[in-house]
Amino acid sequence: MRLLTLLFILLQNVVMTMTYAEDTAQLVKVADPFLEMHTGPSVGYPITNVIKRDETISIIKQRTTWYLIKNNKDYEGWVHRSQLVKTLTLDDEEIEIKDITREDYLDHKWEMSMIGGNFGSLPMMTLSGGYALTKNLSTEASFTQIIGNFSSRQLLGINLINQPFPDWKISPYFSLGGGIISTRVKSTLSQLEDDTDFTANVSLGLKMYLTRSFLIRTDLKKHIIFQSRDKNEEITSWQVGFAVFF
């Protein structure tokens, strides 16, 4: 579980770094009474500086709905989009502050998700990253942790995903893939042994766009584990969680 926690933190950092991080370096003039500069891209970060109306600032880059700016004293900080919508150019003309929309979702290339559910009767958690090859076809790599009372399993997988109706707000998808599953026994009372096997899977899922760069994802998957002992193992899993795109 500690590995999953570290991976989730890494996911957050990657998303915050890559999601709409654009080097704009645009020089503008403040139109609001003041701007509050935060040390990071969230209201949870402390305010370090306040910029007054008519002062000039440079917009350096964007992360989701937050912008990194620099004032004329070279102080840098993060400002929310809502405080920049009235910002003017140096010629007192209005500028467009881009927001993330559903059109961005339809055109996105990268997607990362964290979903959880059950692998048979055992709890599971999956971190995955995908890349859109076309509007309907994408590839995805995933890491899954499965926790049992007597053993734990780790599943590394790769899938090919077909999304026939990507324009729908609630869009179904189908996937086919495979991977490697490792079983590690935690108790001497268990009849299982440490093992590594190949797997194949087929799944049906739904993606629902929420807002900005977020969506909900559900997944129902049938796994076949090609065991070296006895017969193959067939397990059904279900998961639900959140994903971000960029």
Output the six-digit token pair for 52: 């007054």
Residues 138 and 169 grouped into a single domain:
yes
Return the CATH number at 158: 2.40.160.20
- Select from 74, 98, 122 the last residue of a domain: 98
Q: CA separation (Å) from 237 to 121, 124, 220?
A: 9, 9, 6
Residue 3 lies in a domain: no
User: Does the global pTM surpass 0.85?
Assistant: no
- Select from 80, 98, 116 the last residue of a domain: 98
Domain count across the chain? 2
Using DSSP, state whether 6 is helix, strand or coil: helix
C-alpha span between 103 and 101 (Å, rounded): 5
pLDDT tens-place values along the chain, 246 residues long: 454 455 455 555 554 444 444 444 677 778 778 888 999 888 889 998 888 888 888 888 877 678 888 888 888 999 888 787 777 565 666 666 665 566 667 777 889 999 999 999 999 999 999 999 998 999 999 999 998 887 889 999 999 999 999 988 899 999 999 999 998 887 665 556 778 999 999 999 999 988 777 899 999 999 999 987 678 899 999 999 999 887
Residues 167 and 121 grouped into a single domain:
yes
Domain of residue 166: give its range. 104-245
C-alpha span between 5 and 242 (Å, rounded): 15
Residue 12 lies in a domain: no
Q: Cβ distance 87 to 79 under 8 Å?
A: no
Residue 7 lies in a domain: no
What are the DSSP E strand ranges found in 18-169? 26-29, 34-38, 47-52, 56-63, 66-71, 76-80, 110-119, 122-132, 137-147, 151-162
Residues 173 and 202 grouped into a single domain:
yes
Residues 226 and 241 grouped into a single domain:
yes
Residues 111 and 75 grouped into a single domain:
no
C-alpha span between 157 and 15 (Å, rounded): 21
The candidate with the shortest Cα–Cα distance to 166, out of 214, 108, 85, is: 108
Q: CA separation (Å) from 202 to 85, 102, 144, 219, 231?
A: 46, 28, 16, 10, 19
Residues 144 and 221 grouped into a single domain:
yes
